[in-house]
Amino acid sequence: MSQKATILYIEDDDASRVLIQRVLTYAGYRVLIATRALDGIDMAKKHHPDLILTDINLPDLSGREIIVRLRADPHLAAVPIVALTAQSHDFERDKTFVAGATGYITKPIDAVALTGQIVEYLEGRRDSASSASLESAQRAYNQELVERLENNMRDLETSYRDLRRLDRIKDDFIQLTAHELRTPLTTVYGYSRLVQTSPAILAVMGQDLEVNACLTGLLESIERLNKVVNEIITVSRIATGRVDLKLSPTHISQVISQVSEGYKQVLEQRKIKLVTANQEWPAPFYADAALLELALNNLVSNAIKYTPDEGTITIEVPPASAEHVKIRIKDTGIGIDAKDQQHIFDRFYTAGDTQLHSTSKTAFRGGGLGLGLAICRGIVEAHGGKIWVESAGYDEKGLPGSTFVIELPLNSGVPGQTRRTFL
């Protein structure tokens, strides 16, 4: 059996790894290699080797921690695990046996002797601790574990602080770039509005198809660029906690009809029905109507974007409870996969194929940056509310649809209050 046995060798040092791998392969063993402890643990669980050789000093976990971890797995509890290490001190050896090692071989390796030792371990050899004081080895080992845990916690805290700092730098950079872009864009956008309303230019566009195509493409791109830059500015304001809520009594019916009005033309073109299902509306409540309109705009524009022609979008505001008002935006579109549902509210997350989005020639979809829902979440959370999606999954043919629900507390704050939020 020994000639066909599988040996997993966990070692980060290149020279030792190459040497031992050669010796064992030459001796006829199937050798699996891991250079990190966590990979080694995964490979052991997956391949159930006949013997495991492990270094003690590894970059992620120590060899002793690997042994403890593998001994807890019933499939690996009895597998021979031999430490291969430069640590020759008896005390180090004993700590390794306390962790559950079968054997202990010290480097430098004697290549000839090694194959013989491997055969012995495969045939049942079990070494034992040399020190009389196993108790102190156990104590030292426990202490080692706690120290490593403490060091790992400190490293994690430092990494977390660094990541937060980088995140802030990134947010500032995005915000600065967006503002720099907005200055020249305001002029370009202004001229584009003039072009759209100038009778002389409209007349030329009506006569010359080529001019018409060029100007239409230009105007659409400017419109889109303007939207993207504004989205980035809004989302970076939300992300850096600079949402100032201007609370005033808000008639949700007015906000909804404002939003619907804005999409009249595209709804007609796409033959999509926008239904407002309410017979009765809740009493006005304190909210920032402009920001709420922005959130609903994003949700309705998504509903239109992800619903094929001739679909239906329903906006419904069920009777308010004593504490909350809910707004439901339901579409008959392609739906959202369960695995994406918790991520779509994150910044820059797009569930579909972005390539398809930005080049799509189909009647629905169209490019998006993955910021719309992040903006919605920021606005809703600034109000102390919640937003979520309900969908049976993604299916372009079955069209299960999606329902986005916004829940806002009725006691959203004091009028005129400025509320800070953090995404």
Q: Which of 163, 332, 346, 171 is nearest to 242 (CA)?
A: 171
Residue 248, strand partner residues: 287
H runs (alpha helix) in 329-383 = 338-341, 354-359, 372-382
Please check whether residue 301 is in contact with residue 273, taking contact to mean a CB–CB distance below 8 angstroms.
Answer: no
Please identify which residue in 192, 350, 412, 421 interacts with ligand ADP, judged by CB under 6 A.
350
The count of C-alpha atoms lying within 13 angstroms of the C-alpha of 390, restricted to the half-sphere facing its C-beta, is 7
Please identify which residue in 40, 103, 368, 385 interacts with ligand ADP, judged by CB under 6 A.
368
Binding segment for ligand ADP (CB under 6 A), chosen from 127-135, 202-210, 260-268, 350-358, is: 350-358
Residue 385 contacts ligand ADP per CB under 6 A: no
CB of 73 to ligand ADP, least distance (A): 40
Residue 175 contacts ligand ADP per CB under 6 A: no
Q: Which residues contact 119 (CB under 8 A, 6 or more apart)?
A: 2
Residue 49 contacts ligand ADP per CB under 6 A: no
Output 69 or 305, the one with its CB closest to ligand ADP: 305
Output 63 or 370, the one with its CB closest to ligand ADP: 370
Dihedral pair phi/psi, residue 246, rounded to 5°? -105, 95
Please check whether residue 122 is in contact with residue 50, taking contact to mean a CB–CB distance below 8 angstroms.
Answer: yes
Residue 334 contacts ligand ADP per CB under 6 A: yes
Please identify which residue in 49, 282, 333, 385 interacts with ligand ADP, judged by CB under 6 A.
333
CB of 306 to ligand ADP, least distance (A): 3
Please check whether residue 70 is in contact with residue 41, taking contact to mean a CB–CB distance below 8 angstroms.
Answer: yes
Q: Both tokens of residue 7?
A: 């040996």
Q: Both tokens of residue 136?
A: 């102190």
Q: Which residues contact 81 (CB under 8 A, 6 or more apart)?
A: 51, 52, 54, 66, 67, 70, 71, 100, 101, 102, 103
Output 49 or 401, the one with its CB closest to ligand ADP: 401
The count of C-alpha atoms lying within 13 angstroms of the C-alpha of 248, restricted to the half-sphere facing its C-beta, is 5
Site for ligand ADP in 197-236 (CB under 6 A): none
Please identify which residue in 80, 372, 378, 385 interacts with ligand ADP, judged by CB under 6 A.
372
Sheet containing 402-409, strands listed edge to edge, beginning at the edge strand earlier in sequence: 273-276, 312-316, 324-331, 402-409, 386-391
Report the distance separating Cα 291 and Cα 257, nearest Å. Answer: 15
> Which 8-state DSSP code applies to residue 2?
G
CB of 297 to ligand ADP, least distance (A): 11
Dihedral pair phi/psi, residue 64, rounded to 5°? -65, -40
Please identify which residue in 63, 370, 378, 385 interacts with ligand ADP, judged by CB under 6 A.
370
Residue 259 contacts ligand ADP per CB under 6 A: no
CB of 258 to ligand ADP, least distance (A): 19
* Interface size with ligand ADP, residues (CB under 6 A): 21
Biggest distance spanned by C-alpha atoms of the chain: 101
Q: Both tokens of residue 196?
A: 């759209």
Q: Both tokens of residue 189?
A: 């956008």
Please identify which residue in 300, 315, 351, 379 interacts with ligand ADP, judged by CB under 6 A.
351
Please identify which residue in 23, 336, 380, 423 interacts with ligand ADP, judged by CB under 6 A.
336
The identity of residue 183, as a single letter, is T
Binding segment for ligand ADP (CB under 6 A), chosen from 60-68, 166-174, 269-277, 366-374, is: 366-374
Q: Which of 67, 1, 11, 7 is nearest to 35 (CA)?
A: 11
CB of 217 to ligand ADP, least distance (A): 21
Please identify which residue in 129, 371, 382, 408 interacts with ligand ADP, judged by CB under 6 A.
371
Residue 285 contacts ligand ADP per CB under 6 A: no
Site for ligand ADP in 289-328 (CB under 6 A): 298, 302-303, 306
Residue 214, strand partner residues: none
CB of 303 to ligand ADP, least distance (A): 5
Residue 352 contacts ligand ADP per CB under 6 A: yes
Binding footprint of ligand ADP on the chain (CB under 6 A): 298, 302-303, 306, 331, 333-334, 336, 344, 349-352, 368-374, 402
